[in-house]
Amino acid sequence: MSDELNSIDESVRLIVMEARRPVAIDPEARRRLAEALRAEPAPTRSSRVLSWFVEPRPFALPPFTTAALAAGLVGIGVLTGIALNRDGRAPTEQPRAVAASSQLPDSVAPRAIKFVLVAPQAARVSVVGDFNGWDSAATPAKREADGTWTTYVPLRPGRHIYSFVVDGTHFVSDPSAPIAPDDGYGQKNSVVVVAGASS
């Protein structure tokens, strides 16, 4: 038994020992995983998603309202209650978030979703969501001269949960987008619904 276990209460130690026991997973789940892996293209150093990002693509951004209605996307909103100033004062200009989309030629391909957060006081902004494993390092936004932060994310049709991360610690939901059900972590996330090509 490790020293660390010796230092904890007996009842907690019992819980630890019990929780360390192996669990039973349906062998079918393992088989399904093997099948899904076989169906995947072989990974390479330059992944398809990465190259998608670096290839310049024209984005035809429709009027925001049209896009929002058509694709159920997030809207323009003013975020409140987010203290972005490093000196603790309320920011004079509140960040706002917009997103828009453009349709890629392939109907089954992801659609390019543009995320914009206006946060002049922020030092770093990224977008996290179920599409990037909630990895705050995966999708950094680029700062424009006017204090807006922009990034594009290829999203397949469907419902995606996301949030902005400001300065690596502040999770900022989009107040004008639908709020996802509580994630159990005390954090409010936003929802973007990407419409399919036929809708």
Partner 1 sequence: MSDAADVQRVLSGDVDAFGRLVDRYYERCARFAVRMLGSRDDAEDALQATFLRAYRSLGKYQERDKFSAWLYRILVNQCRSIAARRNQRERVFVREEAVLLNAPDRTPNWTGEESELVQRVLAELDPLLREAFLLKYIEEMSYEEMSTLTGVGVSALKMRVKRACDRLRARWEYIKDE
Q: Which helix (H) or strand (E) holds 132?
A: none
Backbone φ and ψ of 15, nearest 5° = -60, -45
Cα 96 from Cα 91, distance rounded (Å): 12
Cα 123 from Cα 84, distance rounded (Å): 9
Give the shortest CB-95-to-partner 1 separation in angstroms: 21
Q: Is residue 198 near partner 1 by the rule CB under 8 A? A: no
Q: Is residue 6 near partner 1 by the rule CB under 8 A? A: no
Among 24, 60, 108, 145, binds partner 1 (CB under 8 A): 24
Q: Residue length, the chain?
A: 199
| Type of residue found at 45 | R
Give the shortest CB-192-to-partner 1 separation in angstroms: 14
All residues at 6 or more sequence positions from 65 whose CB lies less than 8 Å from its CB, including other chains: none
For residues 149 and 181, is the Cβ–Cβ distance under 8 A? no
| Options 37-45, 62-70, 146-154, 171-179: segment touching partner 1 (CB under 8 A) | 37-45
| Options 23-31, 62-70, 82-90, 96-104: segment touching partner 1 (CB under 8 A) | 23-31
Residues 93-152 contacting partner 1, CB under 8 A: 130, 133-136
All residues at 6 or more sequence positions from 151 whose CB lies less than 8 Å from its CB, including other chains: 114, 115, 126, 127, 139, 140, 141, 142
Among 1, 37, 60, 108, binds partner 1 (CB under 8 A): 37
Residues that bind partner 1 (CB under 8 A): 2, 4-5, 8-9, 11-12, 14-16, 18-26, 29-30, 32-34, 36-37, 40, 42-47, 49-50, 130, 133-136, 161, 168, 180-186, 189
